[in-house]
Each structure stands twice: as C-alpha cells, then as structure tokens.
Structure 1
Amino acid sequence: MADIPNLRSLTADEFTTSFQALGQPAYRSAQILDWLWKKRVSSIDEMSNLPVSLRETLKEKYELSAPTIVRAQGSKDTTRKLLLKLKDGRFVECVLIPASPALYGEQSDRLTLCVSSQVGCAFACKFCASGLLGFTRNLTPGEITAQILLAEELAGTRVNNLVFMGMGEPLANLPNLLKAIELITSPEGLHIGARHLTISTSGLVPQIKKLADHPRQIRLAISLHGATDEVRSKIMPVNDRWGVDELFEALRYWNSKKKQHLTLEYILIKGINDDLEQARILAKRAKAIRAKVNLIPYNTVEGLPWERPSEDHCRAFRDILKNSGISATLRLEKGHDIDAACGQLRLREETNSE
C-alpha cells in the first residue's frame, strides 16, 4: 500500500499539529473534521470552504480513499453481512445486527456493527474461517472506522453499538485499534460512547492488561470456547501460550480497573467442548470474575468437519449456567443462513479469484 496517510486516520490533535506546521489557522482543523465525520465527503475537492491552495496541499500529503461494498447478504430487518474491498484489493467483512426483540424490546433502536481489525488472522482458532488463509496485514484506523460509515450508509441509520469481533485479533493491532477508538468516541468524530464499544479477544494476556490501564471504559469479551486447558487448546492455539489460569488472572486485573462486566463467548461445538461438565466448570470460572456468558451454537464453515449441537443440548448447557446463578444467553439464530462465521465471504472471494 502507498505510504501516504488517510485523512480519516488522523485524530483531532494530529490535525492541529499538522496545520500548525503548515502555518494554517486552528479553525481549519475543525472544518476538515466536520467534512470528514459529519458531512462524510468522499474527496478533498468537496471541502468547499477550504482555499483551493490548501485542498491541493492536502491532496499531496493525504488520501481519502475508502473501502467499497462488494456484496451484502441479508435484509434490512435481519442480520446483514457485508464484504468490503480495500484499496490494495484485499477483502474484509463486517456484520450489521439489529436489536433482538426478545432482549431489547420491539421498539429498540439498537443497531450493532461487528467490525474487523485485520485482513486475515494469525491465531488460527479452529472454528473460524478468518485464519484459513493466514494473516495478511493490520487494518489502519481509517479502514476500521470506514466500516462504520459504509454500514450506516447502507442501513440508512446510525450504528450505536460496536463489537470488535469480526475478522482478525483486535488486540494484535492494538495501536491502530486504540487510535480508531479515539476517532469513534471523539465528539469531533463519530461520537459513540465508549460503553457502547466491546472488544473481543482470543486471550492475549499482556494486551488485556495494557487495555485495562486505558482510561476509556470499554467493554471486553473473551473468546473462551473451553473451560479447561485440555479442551480449549483443541480449539484455541493461543491457549498454548497463555493458558486458562493465566488468562483468568488477567481478567481479575481487568476487573480491578474497569466497571463493566466481562463477557465470556463460548461457541458450542458438538463433541468437542459441549460436554455438560464443561458447563459446570465454566459456571465456576464465570462466577469468580462476575462474568456473563454468551453461548453461540457453531456456524458451519466450509472445509471444517465440526457440527453444532442440537438445540436441546445447547439449552441444557445454558441451564446449568443459569442454575448456578450465571447470566447466560443462548444465540440460536443470528445469521446462520448468511455464512455467519467470521471470514467466510472473504475466504470464498479470495479463493475464487486466485
């Protein structure tokens, strides 16, 4: 990719510093931020209240390219999955998820976007299509935030809840992720409250602790998928580096720094991690860190041999948690019919084009 920075990767402070260096008045920074995040222009030439000479200077120093939507699966009233093409020809995905009436009521305006942070993934979680082609590169802050702009344009309404659990491991791209979060939460940017942002990680212990020390009250979800090392290592190679006990020590540190409850994500895979004894152990672990548990029956990935358990078995697993006093939800159907597992659309597009 070209080394020229994207304007939508710059924070308000960076704009101020850049404009001071160019000998421009401070108010120019506010004008450009308004064009970028409120008016959402697609080119520097559209910034009509800037002098022509300044626009030419900006075009020399910056770009304003954005991903394009290649494909959208689903409908307005259901989960919609978007395949986006980046400037370098690579693909990423994001997913629009409307509010569930059962959880939020019929009149809820909650609209969640599942955001990608990398092209591909190096962590090779066994249930996930994102890592099947390996890791390509990190997304820039501008590419992360562009997913929100494109999703809002498609939906015709504001996205008010973000989960960083699309393609890639967010904490492996922590500097760009934190910069994107500054753009997302800033009043000059998208102005989405930090409490409406959730970062999902496969369990990068040092980065969890670093994020715990960050001042924003961001929510954290852990892709756990196994309550013991024996089971989790079958699914999550990262567990061989940071085992379950070390991970939960980091989560206790998180709790000492943050107010929001943790969420443990647990994909139920038939015959792999759905034994009811795992539910009992999971209940004890969740209670120790005051965590909620989100159970997700496995979404079939082409080329992988695993299956989802029966609905009755999923409910039995959930009920063990609930009967132990754990807040547990079971997401039986959210996008199973639109290649919902992370990276499936990208996998199909890139393998078909090679």
Structure 2
Amino acid sequence: MADPRPKTNLLGLSRAQLERFFAEWGEKPFRARQILQWVYQRGVTDFDAMTDLSRALRERLQAETEIIAPGVMSEHRSTDGTVKWIMALPGGSAVETVFIPEPDRGTLCISSQVGCMLNCTFCSTATQGFNRNLGAAEIIGQVWRAAEALGPDRRITNIVLMGMGEPLLNLDQVRPALELMRDDLAYGLAARRVTVSTSGVVPGIDALRDGPGVALAVSLHAPDDDLRTRLVPLNRKYPIEELLAACKRYLADKRPKQSITFEYTMIDGVNDRPEQARELLRVLAHVPSKINLIPFNPFPGTPFKCSSNNAIHRFQDVLRSGGMIATIRKTRGDDIDAACGQLVGKVLSASRRRAVVQEQLARQALA
C-alpha cells in the first residue's frame, strides 16, 4: 500500500528551516548549505546528481521530499526584450512573472498571490479578484524557473515583488522567499536589490522591519486621503498619515541614506495636476523619499487614460524643483501585457473585465 503522506517540497525553505528539517532527521546543519547551493546556485533538483550527499541520504530525500517549482504554461517575448511567463500552479490557477532586461541590470518582477483582494481601481490585476496566497515554494520558484529559462547569459540582478497580489498580506510565505533571495548560499542579492512593494498594509510594514533587509516601495498614487481612497480602497483602513508614520518607523533602523520609493501612477485628469505635485511635496517633506512616476497602462474596460507626456514631465519638474528625486518609469512589455498594472494571470475576457471594473467604480461611488 502506498504511503499516503505527501512529500515535503524543499523549495522555498529558508536556511534556518532546512537546518531544522535535517536536524529532525538526525543530520548535521551543513546539509542545508549543500542543498541550497545545489538548488539555487547550480539549478540542480535531481537528488541523484547531488554527489556530495551520501547515497543513503539521497535515497531518503528521493523517497520523502521533492523540489518542485511552478511550471511554465507559456512564454511571451516583447519587442523591447521583456519576457513574461505564465506560471502554472496546482488547482489550475496561474500567475505572471516578468523579466525586464536593461544594459546594467536584469530585473525580475514576481507575484505573491493569485489575483489581488485590494480592488485598486486603476489596476488590471484587481479585475480578476482574489484566489489564494502563494506558498514560499511558489514565490521563490518563480525566480528559480526564470533563472532556468534565461540561462547564464541573462543574469537576474534585481527582484521586485510588484507582480500580482499584495506581498504584506502573505508575509508568512513571502518572508522565507526573501531570506533565500538575500542568502549568500542561494541568490545572494544585496538589500537594495530586493524590493517589496505594498499598497500600504501598515502592520505588514512594521512586521517587515524584523525580516531580512530589503527595500520598500509604497503605492501612493495620490497626495490626499479623499483621492487615494478612490484609487486605493485600503486607504480607508490605513490613511496617508498613518502610512507615512509606518514608513518612518521602517527607516528608523536602516542605513542613513536609505529611502522609501513611492510609486505614483499618472492618470489623466485625476492625479496629474501641478498643484497635486506641490501637495505631494508637502506630504512627503519629512519622509526620506524618491518618487517613481508610472505612466498609466490601459487595459480593456478601464475608464482611465494615461496622462500626457507634457503633464508627466510638468509634474516631475514641480517635484524636482522642490528637491525631490523623481523618475519616470519607462513602460516595458506593454505589447505583451507585461507592463505595470497589466498582470492578470488567468486572463478574463474583455467584456468580463469591463464589468468588473464598473462594479469596482460603483462600489467606490457608494462608499
């Protein structure tokens, strides 16, 4: 009769978790080091190939454990070099992962949830609703699978949790994945090269202070509570003043020159006026900040339009004249729906997505 116990997936276990796992088997802690190097530095998942492990240990690992990353359903390549993978998950769901190549870096944008529960009205991901949290293996597995697909000639130098979902609403699973991104035995990325993006989950920002050091990006999108609540409903629970206080706490024990990146999607006639830029300067005056202005990426059914180039640059000029570092994000991968705010995983029909957007806007009007 077959053993009914499921195998333990070693992918996604941090170094400390692996050490505890092997200790329960009566093995020495250095076994964790060996596994980490085989899996993440050499890309090996076949226990038989891990030749510095004893045959008996390899046989037990083969019988009781596995190393399973999400599968690739499809790969899409943009004319600008951006690559998007649709990653298959158990149960038939899927998430999207995007690699953005630049001359001096290679940035991988990964997902932390299937869908998103925050209902931001300008985001395509929100139109598909929320399915479930990803496990740590499914989060770090996106990095593993992308590294495998890219090969040694296209190195991942930066990782951003800016894909599908709100990372700080899944911190129990995000944290070990972050530890693996930072661990010298795994991906060994510096703190400034791993960024967690949040819509403003204040308890999660505070909890992240105790985790592996990473950069923090906050989706702000408005300089006042009334407008931000329309765009980011979470603002009702954690308004701007409370959010910025959490940002200052996050920086309190970091390096002196570290700052928060505030993401600001530029939407025509909504949040792109010069007076709103001046208000943004006032609001952020006491938070070490830089602003990333993101041209809105349209999707089927949205009532919003992207701000004009003139409006975006005028907004940037106001911020810079006030002493703020303000950059404009270059839109990448929009021809394969891989740009910021366009990730949807299981793609909905245009008519269904339009209906969902209208439902969201109606809820905002009634609130």
Same fold (TM over 0.5): yes
Shift of 1:161: 0.8
Q: 1:248 to 1:236 in 2, by over 3 A?
A: same
1:110, distance to aligned residue in structure 2 (A): 1.0
The separation in 2 between residues aligned to 1:192 and 1:262, in whole angstroms, is 19
Shift in CA distance, 15/211, structure 1 to aligned 2, threshold 3 Å: closer
CA contact (8 A) 1:79 1:98 kept: yes
C-alpha distance in 2 between matches for 1:342 and 1:288? 29
Of 79, 104, 110, which residue of structure 1 is paired with 2:105? Answer: 110
- Which amino acid is 1:94 matched to? T
Structure 2 CA distance for aligned equivalents of residues 207 and 148 of structure 1: 23
The match for 2:158 among 144, 157, 161 is 161
Partner of 2:96: 93
The residue that corresponds to 2:137 in the other structure is: 142
Corresponding residue of 1:104: none
By how many angstroms is 1:91 displaced? 0.7
Q: 2:296 maps to which residue?
A: 298
Per-residue CA shift, 1:58-82, capped at 9, x if unaligned? 2443222211222233348532222
Alignment identity in percent? 38
Per-residue displacement from partner, 1:164-203 (whole Å, max 9, x unpaired)? Answer: 1111001111121111111111122111122211111000
Task: Indicate if the aligned counterparts of 2:297 and 2:342 stay in contact, CA closer than 8 A.
Answer: no
- Cα separation, partners in 2 of 1:315 and 1:240, compared to 1, 3 Å: same
The question of 1:255 aligning with 2:251 is answered yes
1:215-294 equivalence runs, <5 A: 216-259=212-255, 260-294=258-292
Q: CA deviation at 1:226?
A: 0.8
- Give unpaired runs (5+ residues) of structure 1: 100-107
Paired AA for residue 119 in structure 1: V
Give the 5 Å matches for 1:52-67. 52-67=55-70
SS in 2 for 1:280: helix
Q: Distance in 2 between matches of 1:271 and 1:76?
A: 30
The amino acid of 1:346's aligned partner reads G
1:131 positional shift:
2.2
SS at match of 2:294: strand
Q: 2:146 aligns with which of 138, 144, 151?
A: 151
Q: TM-score, normalised by structure 2?
A: 0.86
With over 3 angstroms needed to count, the CA separation of the structure-2 counterparts of 1:4 and 1:237, relative to structure 1, is farther
2:333 counterpart of 1:330: no
Q: Secondary structure at the match of 2:285?
A: helix
Q: Deviation string for 1:228-249 (max 9, x for gaps)?
A: 0111011101001111111111
> Which of 78-87 and 298-307 deviates more?
78-87
> Retained in 1: the 8 A contact 2:12–2:141?
no
Secondary structure of the residue aligned to 1:263 is strand
Alignment-derived partner of residue 192 in structure 1: 189
Q: 2:141 and 2:129 mapped to 1: Cα distance? A: 23
- Per-residue CA shift, 1:227-273, capped at 9, x if unaligned? 10111011101001111111111112223222311111000111222
Cα shift at 1:57: 2.5
Moved more, 58-67 or 188-197: 58-67
| Distance of 2:87 and 2:346 partners within structure 1 | 12
1:180 is aligned with what amino acid? A
Matched, 1:127 2:130: no
Counterpart Cα distance in 2 of 1:200 and 1:134: 19
> Could you say what secondary structure the match of 1:287 adopts?
coil
Cα 1:151–1:351 change in 2 (3 A) is farther
How far does residue 349 in structure 1 lie from its aligned partner after superposition? 6.7
Q: CA deviation at 1:293?
A: 0.3
Q: 1:274 to 1:192 in 2, by over 3 A?
A: same
> C-alpha offsets along residues 265-302 of structure 1, whole Å, 9 cap, x if unaligned?
00011122223221111122233212100001110122
* Partner residue in 2 for 1:24: 27
1:103 aligned partner: none
Judging changes above 3 Å, is the alpha-carbon distance between structure 1 residues 308 and 207 closer, same or farther for their aligned structure 2 residues? same
Cα distance, 1:311–1:91 mapped onto 2, change above 3 Å: same
Q: Give the AA of the match of 1:250.
A: A
